[in-house]
Amino acid sequence: MSASEHGSMVDTDSENSFEIVRKQCDICAALLELPDDIFELIRNPMREIKVAIPVRMDDGTLRVFEGFRVQYNDVLGPTKGGIRFHPDETIDTIRALAAWMTWKCSLLELPLGGAKGGVICNPKVMSAGELERLSRGYVERIWSFIGPDKDIPAPDVYTNPQVMAWMMDQFSKIAGKNQFGVITGKPLYIGGSIGRNTATARGALYVIVEAARTAGMNLSEASLAIQGYGNAGFNLAFLANDIFGCKIAAVTDQRGGVYNKDGLDPIALYNYKMQNGTVGGFPDSEELKNGELFSLDVDILCPSALENVITKRNAGSIQASIIAELANGPTTPDADDILFDKGIQILPDFLCNAGGVTVSYFEMVQNFSMLYWDEAEVFERLKKKMATAYHSVLNSSEKHKINMRQAAYMVAVQRIADAMVLRGWA
């Protein structure tokens, strides 16, 4: 069966993240005319690890948490990817994120493969001591599968530099020596990199700058609507407003949304959210429901939180000229087709949000060399990486007359397929 024939095997209406990944792989394989053996390798994870983690809780009871690590593909180098602590975590979500990380590293020409990890838990109801024991217990279960030259975890949803510090320390204890390079996203004093906290948003902004230039858009007059106001969403709003004078017209989070055609103050809005738990009710703004954000008359739409929020049901109402995907998997394949037909330029997730893994790679380089860069050098290197990746995708899109996501897949997967052939994997 040819790669093109595989394409009909996946339900395009499914909202399962890993099925969406496979559908995207199918489309890419058909465009590249990949041989069947390479096709099968790129659509299946290389290794999946499932563990049971016993944790002594503060009340003396013992709870067993379920954890995962998916190492999707390491043909380009050791795998790399975050660890999530979330009550609704699933293995299919982890598989999808590990695949996207694989394409992301390839697209940015990082010498890394893709991985992702997760633990099913609710960190919001756990004490610091319970989180530390869970973090160390997770490493105790997977330590033989990770390492600076095997697989390098990083923070993700509901994990942070402190969690990474505990994990790095536990691995170092098992190894019998300091192993700062086993984890990225660490605090600065123990091998972290300057710029990592804002890297995802800053990388996205560098891509937006290139896309705006291509579209003839003046960013000083541009308006943004941002779905999700966590670390990535807030930092994008702040940087876009501070550096270019972009107007932040609308912001939504899980509990509410606000709109002001004259622009919202991103810092004041963030402080308000920290005090109230939501952006809803922010002074001098109109109430906005989450779904209403997508049909606003703005220049740039930035989904920065959840998967599958732009679908065939709402894609037709989008008025933005550019969609910058800071979230992983916010747009379904059917929506991609609609947006492409409307002439909307999508900056696909594994291009747009690649600033985080790129600066994590910089952290690895600094750990290995024991020579640490200043902020200006980190940001200049990041800017160059993001701009180069954007133009490689744009050139592929224009050459093959395909949407930006398909073009990003073609660039990334072709590099992986070539490496597989060179290494004799297929």
Nearest to 104 by CA among 115, 95, 93: 115
Q: Answer for the pair 96, 22: CB distance below 8 angstroms, yes or no.
A: no
Q: Answer for the pair 204, 326: CB distance below 8 angstroms, yes or no.
A: yes
How many other β-carbons are positioned within 10 Å of the β-carbon of residue 124? Answer: 8
Q: Answer for the pair 84, 158: CB distance below 8 angstroms, yes or no.
A: yes
Token reading at 174: 């098992």
Q: Which residue's entry shows tokens 């937006």?
A: 208
CA-derived radius of gyration, the chain: 21
Q: Which residue's entry shows tokens 């996205």?
A: 204
Nearest to 81 by CA among 128, 44, 115: 115
Which secondary-structure segment (H or E) carries 211?
A: helix 199-215
Distance between first and last Cα of the chain: 16
User: CB under 8 Å to 204, separation ≥6 — which residues?
Assistant: 232, 236, 302, 324, 326, 347, 352, 353, 355
Question: Residues 116, 186, 383, 385: which is the catalytic one?
Answer: 116
Asked about 124 being catalytic, the answer comes back as no
CA distance 132 to 212: 44
Q: Which residues are catalytic?
A: 116
